[in-house]
Chain A
Amino acid sequence: MDKLVETLLQGDHVGALSEARRLLALGIAPERIVTDGMETAMRRLDDKCTVESFNLLEIMLAGRAVSAVVNELYPEGAPPAQGRATFVIASLEGDIHDLGKNVTRMVLIGKGYRVVDLGKDCPVETLVNAAEREHADAVLVSGLITPVIPQVRKLRPALAARGLDGIKVVAGGAALKQATAEELNVDYVAETAFDGARYLEQLARRKTE
């Protein structure tokens, strides 16, 4: 498993895929590859990526390698059956930038969570519908531009109007992270994808306790 962890950390998607295939051929269960391989790599990447040294290039390379392994482990597109939390993620209507969202999705998948990606330019109502349908534990929104902020502020009231008050709202991205959770009317503002993932991990832990 060490070699898989190493290739994932190096962002070597070809090497990681080859290693995942080798482990599968040895009869190791996909769930164990996720738990012992991908999650270990993500924890180490998290340790390395402090706010000061978080950069998109390294995260995207690791994320590409994680995606290659997940696609190999679950070729039918079935989500990892880890009994973990489910998150719904989108860039809201008016914002067609989705890089931050994609990076966050990759990090969360690497940590074994189920992530439903609604893409970019997503209306609040679509996000709320999906959160209800998927029994989401949290909805995550990424925003690169400030005009999307009024949309973000609508999320919690829209969830509450459907009786979904228990679903947490997490915001991130260059524009949104300049604001406080209170200003955005959300539960948490993530400085980076890993920072958001730490908050969500605490949430998931509390759910299972």
Chain B
Amino acid sequence: MNSLERVKAAIAFAPVDRTPAVPQLFGHAAVLAGMALEDYLRDGERLARCQIEAYRHYGHDMVFAFMDFSVETEALGSLLQYRADQYPDVASYVLTPERDVSALAVPDPAVAGRMPELLRAASILRREAGDEAPVAGCVLGPMTLATQLLGIETALYLAVDDPARFENVLDFAVEVAVRYGLAQIGAGVHLPIVFDPAASPAVVPPQFFRERLLPRLKKVFAAYRAAGALANWLNITGPTAPILPWYPEAGADIANFDYYVDAAEAQKLLPATCLDGNLKSLSFVDASPAEIAAAAGALVAAFAGRGGFLLSSGCEIPLEAKPENVAALVSAARAGT
């Protein structure tokens, strides 16, 4: 099996030759290649080259057209502060308590901000690796985009103080996610991952997720499915156990689970959904390869009788991760079944 066949089989709960290794390996690819992160994040070709180099180096099972969580908000007019070796942060949000979302138009991914560079990365990755490995894109979920447009404190207060106005922001975020995700599929990604960390129960109560976010995630995933996405992947970090059972209704085929949720609980909550997780991100910086191998091996064993599993970190592999630890994860997947 090549990586694409292996991941497809895992998603379908079909037999695999070994557990797919899918570390959430984004900006670490730049560090591995010795490239300044800012250059990687601004140039789709460089991003694609680094991803392919990391893929050849580690031998994992997916490449990622992923920049950072500020691409959409920058394309909509927020000002970012770039740093040489860290992800950019929003210095000035495009929406304020006084500025309504009706002032914004859904950005055209072909021309807005860094979106065209992301699409360029997706095209290159599909052309150069897409026959053997799945190419994943990246879209912000509605709640996280709302927080990136307003700032998280303003967004959360608005959600309570003026729910109707906040719902308008969420609806707009859905439009952005659909258009940007479809553009990524058009450019060659097999699946755009929907990242929505602000939808985590660590940020908003599960009821908020069910009532206000779930219906909107359904719209996003329905659009991706109709456009031919290989699968729908919902990536929310933190203590997600209370909301995991709702993922199938959202239309998710792959559910990320973080280190807060153990493998047995995740399997129980989502018996028919492919899971990815859940090694602690920080362990890739601090632990030894032997420790990573042991934790990864235990995960592979925990899913051996079930299938439907992508061995991964629960969140992003940190930029400064030790390469030997990423390699240990991949080796553990190869050593298992």
Contacting B282 at CB < 8 Å: which of A56, A61, A179? A179
Contact A60 B205 (CB under 8 A): no
Shortest distance between the CB of B281 and any CB in chain A (Å): 7
The total of chain A residues at the interface (CB under 8 A) is: 26
Which of A47-55, A70-78, A201-209 lies at the interface? Answer: A47-55
Q: Please give me the residue from chain B that is nearest to A99 by CB atom.
A: B152
The total of chain B residues at the interface (CB under 8 A) is: 30
What 1/0 mask marks residues of chain A from 90 to 125 whose CB sits below 8 Å from any chain B CB? 000010110100100000000000000000000000
Contact A55 B205 (CB under 8 A): yes
> How many contacting A-B pairs (Cβ < 8 A)?
63
Task: Tell me which residues across on chain B come within 8 A of A53, comparing CB atoms.
Answer: 201, 205
Task: Tell me which residues across on chain B come within 8 A of A145, comparing CB atoms.
Answer: 86
Q: Please give me the residue from chain B that is nearest to A96 by CB atom.
A: B89
Shortest distance between the CB of A172 and any CB in chain B (Å): 13
Which of B42-50, B56-64, B156-164, B221-229 lies at the interface? Answer: B156-164
B128 within 8 A of A: no
Shortest distance between the CB of B213 and any CB in chain A (Å): 12
Contacting A146 at CB < 8 Å: which of B159, B203, B241, B318? B318
Task: Tell me which residues across on chain A come within 8 A of B259, comparing CB atoms.
Answer: 178
A30 within 8 A of B: no
Whether A99 contacts B318 in the complex (CB less than 8 A), given A55-B201, A55-B204, comes out as no
B250 within 8 A of A: no
Contacting A55 at CB < 8 Å: which of B81, B203, B286? B203
Contact B285 A146 (CB under 8 A): yes
Dominant SS at the B interface?
Answer: loop
Contacting A56 at CB < 8 Å: which of B89, B203, B318? B203
What 1/0 mask marks residues of chain B from 229 to 273 whose CB sits below 8 Å from any chain A CB? 000000000110110000000000000000100000000000000
Task: Tell me which residues across on chain A come within 8 A of B329, comparing CB atoms.
Answer: none
Q: Please give me the residue from chain B that is nearest to A146 by CB atom.
A: B318
Contact B203 A178 (CB under 8 A): no
In whole angstroms, what is the CA distance A52 to B81 when docked? 34
What 1/0 mask marks residues of chain A from 40 to 69 whose CB sits below 8 Å from any chain B CB? 000000000001111111101100100000
Contact B157 A64 (CB under 8 A): yes
Shortest distance between the CB of A183 and any CB in chain B (Å): 6
CB under 8 Å from chain B, chain A span 130-147: 145-147
Task: Tell me which residues across on chain B come within 8 A of A146, comparing CB atoms.
Answer: 281-282, 285, 318-320
B298 within 8 A of A: no
A175 within 8 A of B: yes
A11 within 8 A of B: yes
Contact A147 B205 (CB under 8 A): no
A-B CB contact pairs (8 Å), 26 listed? A11-B160, A51-B239, A52-B241, A52-B242, A53-B201, A55-B202, A56-B152, A56-B156, A56-B203, A57-B160, A57-B204, A57-B208, A58-B205, A60-B156, A61-B157, A64-B157, A96-B89, A97-B89, A146-B281, A146-B285, A146-B318, A146-B320, A147-B85, A147-B86, A178-B259, A178-B283
